[in-house]
Structure 1
Amino acid sequence: MKSLFSRLWLSATFAVILLFASIWQWLQFSHEFTSQQVQQSLHKELAAHMAHINPLLSKGVTSDAALKEAFHDFMLLGPSFEIYTLDTSGKVVAYDAKKEKIKSSQVDIQYIEQFIAGQELPLLGTDPRSETKQKIFSATRLLDQSGQHTGYLYVIIGGEIFDSWQTLISQHQAPKQWSAAIAFGILAALIIFTLLLKYFTAPLARLEYDLGQVASQSLSEGVALPGDYRGSREINQLSQHIDKLLAELSLQHQTIAGQQQAKHEFLLHLSHDLKTPLTSLQGYIETWLVTPPNERQAEWIEIAANSGKTLQQLLAQLLELAALENGQVHASVQQVSLRLLLEELQQSFAPRAETQGIQLDFQLPHDRAIQTDPHLLKRVISNLVDNAIRYTPSGGKISIRHHSKNGQEWLDVVDTGSGMHQHELSALQQMSGKPIRYEDNAALPQLGVGLAIVRQLLGLLQYPIEIESQPGKGSQFRIQLV
């Protein structure tokens, strides 16, 4: 009973039975109303006719022993009638019944006057044999020979004997009628609503089945519901929303799979970057230890120290990248002299470039102030220059120049190094005006930690970048400052 179909079926069946019972009650009331209207209309002149044919009543007599005998004769001819005479105030005067049968000795003459005035039937009046029940009646005024109003002749239509027989018959027939009606109503509800609910819930059942089949499909290949659902508008819209969610889920799965692959490649490259100086450090130290003291060369220790510095630099960059990805670094924008910033960088990299035989050309701008975070921008340029020095052979050239184009200011870092492949360019160009997190975007395969940091820092600074590079011909990084 937990399924939607069974719940709808039970609710609908209960509603039909309740509706059927209400209709049955209304029909009973309508039948009773119509029956009373018909009977009262048929016997409308009954009291007037009785008063006309009876000598005493025609003379306006309301209390006489002979009236009881006349009432007895009338009631033998019409067992369903009860006859009374009333005085002008509605008090019961004469009747043919035992005294204890009379429960109400006063009749409301308001309805009698409405009846005599010809108002719409049925009209219910006081039943002298009941304290609360009202019945249809026939009534007429009684007048004496001088025309003086002496009282009323009041005839109850469907009296006590009629009620007894009707109750007896109803006790035998009503259970059968009710049983047949309820059985028919339940059977009708079962047939009609089973068919309707089966029809209306069929698309929902199909949707549920199709969703179960979707669970066995591979997200990496894309998942979707097999077809359209032509049921109600809500089910059709629900299937469309589910299709949209499945498409987004599949896309996210493929994105995550790509990110994991890119991360794996990045970690492989990173492990190589870490392994190289670590191997060099360990190799020269071990060589130093196994070599006799008189044969040891000082340059071995110098090379080992340089490898240690490289390893330390890589670890520092890893910590910096982790801080960037975790949102621990924020841009603090202020007015900065671009010339002074580039002069500091030139002084920092000049000795290293000279040692490696690389020409370092800083084209310093005029004293130009820009709004930026000086530490983050310096870190971006430092990483680009450092990466250029690493991959530019002796005799190569690295240029840093500032220029304007279409009202925008650009800072270019150009080298004549080994360059990058297209997939490396695509990875680096995945930047936006917002800080970029490693989990939300593919890592930089084969680009090293330095360029990964550049990627994060440019996101913090909201600086777009354009990259041109060809393997063996060098690279050009163009950063838009304003």
Structure 2
Amino acid sequence: MFWKIRAEYYRRINVRLTLIVTLAAAVSSIVVYALLLASLFIGFGDQDRGELDSRLLSYWAAWQYGGNDAVLNRASLDMKEYGGRPYLLMLDSEDGEMLGALIPGGWEQFNLKDPDLTNLTPGSYATLRAESLPYALLLTGVVLDDGTRLLVGLSTENHQFLVRMYQRNYPWALGAIILAGVLVGIISSRRLLSPIVRLNQEIDHIIITGDLGRRLDSSGTGDQLDGLINRYNRLLDRVESLIGGMKDTLDAVAHDLRTPLTRLRGHAELALGKGDAEEYEEALATVVEQTDQAGALLSALMDIAEAEQGMLSLEGVSCNLSTLAAEVSDMYELIAEEKGQRLTLEAPNEVLLSGDPVRLRQILGNLVDNALKYSPEGSCIDIRCGFSDETSWAEIIDDGPGVPEEETERVFERLYRGDRSRGSRGLGLGLSMVKALVEAHSGSVEISKVEGRGASFKVVFPRISEENISKA
């Protein structure tokens, strides 16, 4: 149980952040401690060697002017005038006999007759240690012209005292640093993770209540956590839009399937009531027709819903709108002839854009079919293509009754049928499909009234140049 609780505790991000901050502070303090300690040892050593070299040269010069007595007098005078750190001075004859010395109290415990001392020269040093003393003695020396050996020494007592104080107090400093690291880690982790905590709370609220209208306020800092909140809000916008589109689609499907299903049931019941083989055959034919109509309705509604929500799979290739318009014109030419209508095509050689050629044909086909449906016999439907610096466009102009101004926005609604189209065939989804597919291609649809003619439906797309095509 204990290990499970501890594992659960360590999985929390704020605990891990606190531990990381504390560990980083402790490791940094240890590194700084080690560097400072090394700097102290190096600095104290350089200082001691410099002072020894200075005293050695001073007494060497005094010996050259006045011999051993001058050295001892100079040393005594230095002690009286300057005081300071105690130091050792020894003058030994060539055979090891002591000719004179200044030895501070207690330093007799060092082995001043160590054979290694006989080999000292300016710039070389020896260190003596005594078991009963906590410090060492650093010495240097020189052999004078008459064979006398001059030794100068300093103790490391003061320096080692400072080092020991530093070492003794460091654990307290380390403890304070760790405590400060824990406090800083707790405070900073709470501040840093507060957006994530709020995000989790909002997600829990949405899961429980299903309310997709709630949004998190951005802190405005512009950091990664602020970006996470903004992305979360955009994700909710997208999810809310998708769910709204699904609800609208389901409502439309439920509404419009009711009519063909009712017809199916009515025809079946009528045929069963009469019990006539001919009636059965006619009822089955009607059932097949109504089933096809229901399937077409479902397919169109799903395509529109996917296009509106940005979920429709489009093949983005280079297309020539003029070529697509010519293919659509050829496809509907026979239908136009049956109604005594004419299709005219006005298009330059190349009107380039990037899009899905199948869906672009569907856009143009729906617009041409709509124009043929609402134009009288003997009328003319014009198909025009063109481009500007930034756009490629196609326009369908008919001789029909046009679109009333109050209906120009509503004609693109799913299943909407205006007053002038009540008796015409169709599902009421053609223009909805056009608008959804055009917007899926980052384009727009415009409706206008042409003087002396009927309605004009113009679809506009972003244009790509031949240079961009060659690069692609």
Distance in 2, Cα, partners of 1:174 & 1:461: 79
The residue that corresponds to 2:390 in the other structure is none
Establish whether residue 137 from structure 1 lines up as the match of residue 144 from structure 2.
no
1:346 corresponds to which of 313, 330, 336: 336
Percent identity (aligned)? 11
Distance in 2, Cα, partners of 1:345 & 1:481: 26
- Cα offset, 1:10, TM superposition: 1.8
Q: Over aligned residue pairs, what C-alpha RMSD do you find? A: 5.5
Establish whether residue 411 from structure 1 lines up as the match of residue 396 from structure 2.
yes
The residue that corresponds to 1:189 in the other structure is 177
- Cα offset, 1:251, TM superposition: 1.3
Give matches, 1:463-478, under 5 Å. 465-467=445-447, 478=457
Give matches, 1:38-187, under 5 Å. 38=51, 41-42=54-55, 44-46=57-59, 48=62, 51-53=67-69, 63-64=94-95, 68=97, 70-71=98-99, 74=101, 80=107, 97=113, 101-103=114-116, 106-107=119-120, 109=121, 111=122, 123-125=123-125, 135-139=138-142, 141-142=144-145, 150-158=146-154, 177=165, 180-187=168-175
- SS for the counterpart of 2:381 is strand
Structure 1 contact 224–247 (Cα < 8 Å) conserved: yes
Distance in 1, Cα, partners of 2:92 & 2:385: 127
2:23 corresponds to which of 1, 5, 10: 10
Establish whether residue 214 from structure 1 lines up as the match of residue 214 from structure 2.
no
Structure 2 contact 343–383 (Cα < 8 Å) conserved: no
TM-score (norm 1): 0.57
The residue that corresponds to 1:252 in the other structure is 238
Distance in 2, Cα, partners of 1:304 & 1:41: 123
Establish whether residue 402 from structure 1 lines up as the match of residue 399 from structure 2.
no
TM-score (norm 2): 0.58
Q: What letter corresponds to residue 411 of structure 1 in structure 2?
A: I
Distance in 2, Cα, partners of 1:477 & 1:220: 40
Distance in 2, Cα, partners of 1:43 & 1:424: 107
- SS for the counterpart of 2:140 is strand
Q: Which structure 1 residue ranges, 5 or more long, are not aligned?
A: 55-59, 84-94, 112-122, 143-149, 230-235, 351-360, 430-445, 470-474
Change (3 A) 1:286 1:424: farther
* Structure index of larger Rg: 1
- Cα offset, 1:211, TM superposition: 2.8
Establish whether residue 266 from structure 1 lines up as the match of residue 246 from structure 2.
no
Distance in 2, Cα, partners of 1:178 & 1:461: 74
Distance in 1, Cα, partners of 2:343 & 2:441: 22
Change (3 A) 1:35 1:413: same
Structure 1 contact 341–378 (Cα < 8 Å) conserved: no
Q: Which structure 2 residue ranges, 5 or more long, are not aligned?
A: 1-9, 71-90, 130-135, 307-311, 351-356, 388-392, 416-425, 462-472
- Cα offset, 1:254, TM superposition: 1.9
- Cα offset, 1:189, TM superposition: 1.5
- SS for the counterpart of 1:365 is strand
Number of residue pairs aligned between Structure 1 and Structure 2 = 378
Change (3 A) 1:366 1:203: closer
Distance in 2, Cα, partners of 1:53 & 1:367: 125
Distance in 1, Cα, partners of 2:94 & 2:428: 127
Change (3 A) 1:450 1:300: farther
- Cα offset, 1:455, TM superposition: 5.5
